[in-house]
């Protein structure tokens, strides 16, 4: 199948490579020529715009930073809808505001174009090995058409969550839990450090118990090594929490802990840590305590 892929960043690049490895024909577009070059070297064709991709492909995946980028690529000048044929399927795998997903989907439907919101969780490592968790909203019929042949090549878990916007709502739930979990881990291991107990010993002692989690197992080793190479950038998590807080306001859902962690993240971004991994939340506690966990 010929698939268009727009957005070849930290996540999009390995995802596109996995589609190539699975035997799909790919036409790619990104504003960074270097990212496009990596994909063309692996066998993909390139396009000069989203509009050009839509001329060639009936299934198009977008993996972009935030709501405005998706709206521009789909609905804007030289965007997908300028040339998309009726029946074209857009799978937006970006993490954006659920309300914007519904807005863009409504515009697409007026042109006979179908759209799924299908954000992912798992960060760069799981994007590379094709074991992402994928949360999908939109038409169940369209979901069934692309689940195994396309989404199943990118993720180990592909779950239909409901109508348009449900995928991104599920992703916001995920991002709240991840953010609060990292903050809890940083706070708890700061206590261990200040109390004079070896953090690596604490980690090994509790990781198999109720406190254990995928987040702790992934992030504590990074924190102990003082390694904040981004698997998922702090700036992107701030974007997700902004969308979560906005959605909370729209729906009347209280998010006091989310707001607190957001302020911690904003402080770190102001100090220049925005491009580091979100586990850099540990630095917030280092600043407060005057002691390093790692």
CATH number at residue 269: 1.10.1040.10
Choose the catalytic residue: 171, 219, 233, 283: 171
Beta strands in 144-232 (DSSP E): 155-162
**131-149 per-position pLDDT tens digit:** 999 999 999 999 999 999 9
Task: Give the whole-angstrom CA distance, residue 29 versus residue 145.
Answer: 24
Tokens of 115: 């759209």
66, with CB counted inside 10 A (0-12, 13-18, 19+), is: middle
Of the residues 140, 164, 188, the one at which a domain ends: 164
Task: Look at residue 294 in the predicted model and tell me its pLDDT.
Answer: 75
- 123 has pLDDT over 90: no
Task: Give the whole-angstrom CA distance, residue 145 versus residue 288.
Answer: 51
Of the residues 112, 130, 164, the one at which a domain ends: 164
171 is a catalytic site residue? yes
CATH number at residue 32: 3.40.50.720
User: Is 294 contained in some domain?
Assistant: no
Are residues 235 and 183 part of one domain? yes
Average pLDDT of span 112-131? 95
Of the residues 142, 164, 186, the one at which a domain ends: 164
Are residues 138 and 30 part of one domain? yes
Q: Say how many domains are in the chain.
A: 2
- Domain assignment of residue 254, given as a range: 169-289
**255-285 per-position pLDDT tens digit:** 999 999 999 999 999 999 999 999 999 999 9
Are residues 245 and 144 part of one domain? no
- As a whole number, the mean pLDDT across the chain is 97
């Amino acid at each position: 199948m010929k698939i268009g892929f727009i957005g070849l960043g930290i996540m999009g690049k390995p995802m596109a490579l996995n589609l190539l490895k699975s035997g799909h024909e790919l036409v790619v577009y990104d504003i960074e020529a270097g990212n496009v070059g990596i994909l063309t070297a692996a066998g993909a064709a390139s396009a000069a715009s989203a509009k050009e991709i839509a001329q060639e492909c009936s299934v198009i995946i977008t993996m972009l930073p935030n709501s405005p980028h998706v709206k521009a690529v789909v609905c804007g000048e030289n965007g997908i809808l300028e040339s998309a044929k009726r029946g074209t399927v857009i799978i937006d795998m970006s993490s954006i505001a659920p309300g914007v997903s519904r807005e863009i989907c409504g515009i697409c439907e007026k042109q006979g174009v179908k759209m799924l919101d299908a954000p992912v969780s798992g960060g760069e490592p799981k994007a590379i090995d094709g074991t992402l968790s994928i949360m999908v909203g939109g038409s169940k019929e369209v979901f069934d058409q692309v689940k195994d042949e396309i989404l199943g090549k990118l993720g180990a878990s592909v779950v239909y969550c409901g109508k348009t916007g449900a995928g991104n709502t599920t992703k916001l739930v995920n991002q709240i839990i991840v953010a609060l979990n990292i903050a809890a881990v940083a706070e708890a291991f700061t206590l261990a450090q200040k109390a004079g107990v070896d953090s690596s010993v604490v980690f090994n002692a509790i990781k198999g118990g109720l406190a254990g989690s995928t987040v702790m197992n992934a992030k504590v080793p990074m924190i102990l090594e003082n390694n904040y190479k981004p698997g998922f950038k702090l700036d992107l998590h701030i974007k997700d929490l902004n969308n979560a807080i906005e959605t909370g306001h729209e729906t009347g859902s209280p998010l006091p802990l989310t707001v607190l962690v957001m302020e911690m993240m904003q402080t770190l971004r102001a100090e220049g840590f925005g491009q580091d991994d979100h586990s850099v939340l540990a630095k917030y506690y280092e600043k407060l305590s005057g002691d390093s966990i790692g």
